[in-house]
Amino acid sequence: MGIFEEVSTFFESYRGEKYIYGHSEEGRPLYAIRVGRGEAVGISQYSIHAREWVTALLGFEHIRRGVRKGSVWFLPCTNPDGVLLATEGVQTVSAPTRDFLEKCNICGDFSLWKANAKGVDLNVNFPAKWGKGAENRFTAGPESYVGEFPLCAKESKALHDFTLKVQPQFTVSWHSKGEEIYWSFHQPPLRRARDKKIALMLQKTTGYPLRDAPNSVGGYKDWCIETLKIPAFTVEVGRSDLSHPLGRDSLGEIIQKNIDAVARLTEVI
């Protein structure tokens, strides 16, 4: 079974509260699964970068593990078209999109693709110093294209709108690879101290060090920190010596190191 099919099957068979918060550029559903009871304290989102699809499988384990306070919305696959491109190739998109993508990616191999089906990198498409990043690109392609304007991509707009609706107290985004945690985005000192304390807890539970990336902008985490003023984290799972895309064989170690992270976040928030 392909990864997106696995995500769809998981969603369909999930018996608790669930919601389709939007659709991708190619019309695929964007799934959200609620775990726990009461106030929605967090959002945990996965696979926004296509080739990092292994994180969706980590999402299933987080859902099975559960939370310790309130409830968390889990979004196992925030870039379904991209994940299908990266795992099953260009035949998974509609004919006009296929023509466009074949021009963007002349080599024809999509296994390292990060963007959505329009060649927009969703994690630089958020309104948080948009377009000012050191590695931003301004033409469609496999990665780092910021889009024509902030939230131009259906997937990032849907994630943005869903987050505003939920009003979480924290968000956590799962990426690969490198085994590190990003937690800062130009917070003023008080919020920086608050967020670092929570980041240090994440460091303790995962064993991953904290990092700063001041020239990286326009991400979901960046927007959550800057606009919602909540603690927000990007966790890069998987050892840096592994090659992209990380496969199922890396999952055991990833789960072992990260299984408790979301549940712990609900305790300390």
Beginning with the edge strand found earlier in the chain, give each strand of the sheet holding 232-237 in spatial order: 18-23, 29-36, 71-75, 40-46, 170-176, 232-237, 180-182, 210-211
Closer CB to Zn ion, residue 26 or residue 52?
52
Closer CB to Zn ion, residue 25 or residue 52?
52
- Going from the C-alpha of 72 to that of each of 32, 44, 168, 179, 215, the distances in angstroms are 10, 7, 8, 23, 30
Q: Give the nearest distance from C-beta 174 to Zn ion in angstroms.
A: 9
Closer CB to Zn ion, residue 49 or residue 154?
49
Q: Residues in contact with Zn ion, total (CB under 5 A)?
A: 3
Query: Of 175, 177, 221, 257, which lies in the binding site for Zn ion, with binding defined by CB under 5 A?
Result: 175
Q: Which stretch binds Zn ion (CB under 5 A): 2-10, 139-147, 168-176, 186-194?
A: 168-176
Contacts of 256 (CB under 8 A, 6+ apart): none
Total residues belonging to the chain: 269
Q: Give the nearest distance from C-beta 188 to Zn ion in angstroms.
A: 27
Other beta carbons within 10 angstroms of residue 186's beta carbon come to 13
177 makes contact with Zn ion (CB under 5 A): no
Residues forming beta bridges with residue 181, ordered by sequence position: 210, 235
Instruction: Output the six-digit token pair for 32.
Output: 């959200």
Closer CB to Zn ion, residue 180 or residue 195?
180
Q: Give the nearest distance from C-beta 175 to Zn ion in angstroms.
A: 3
Closer CB to Zn ion, residue 19 or residue 143?
143
- 14-53: contacts with Zn ion (CB under 5 A): 49, 52
Q: Which stretch binds Zn ion (CB under 5 A): 17-25, 36-44, 63-71, 170-178?
A: 170-178
Closer CB to Zn ion, residue 31 or residue 220?
220
Q: Which stretch binds Zn ion (CB under 5 A): 133-141, 175-183, 190-198, 225-233?
A: 175-183
Q: Give the nearest distance from C-beta 17 to Zn ion in angstroms.
A: 28
Q: Give the nearest distance from C-beta 166 to Zn ion in angstroms.
A: 22
Q: Give the nearest distance from C-beta 71 to Zn ion in angstroms.
A: 26
Tell me which residues touch Zn ion (CB under 5 A). Answer: 49, 52, 175
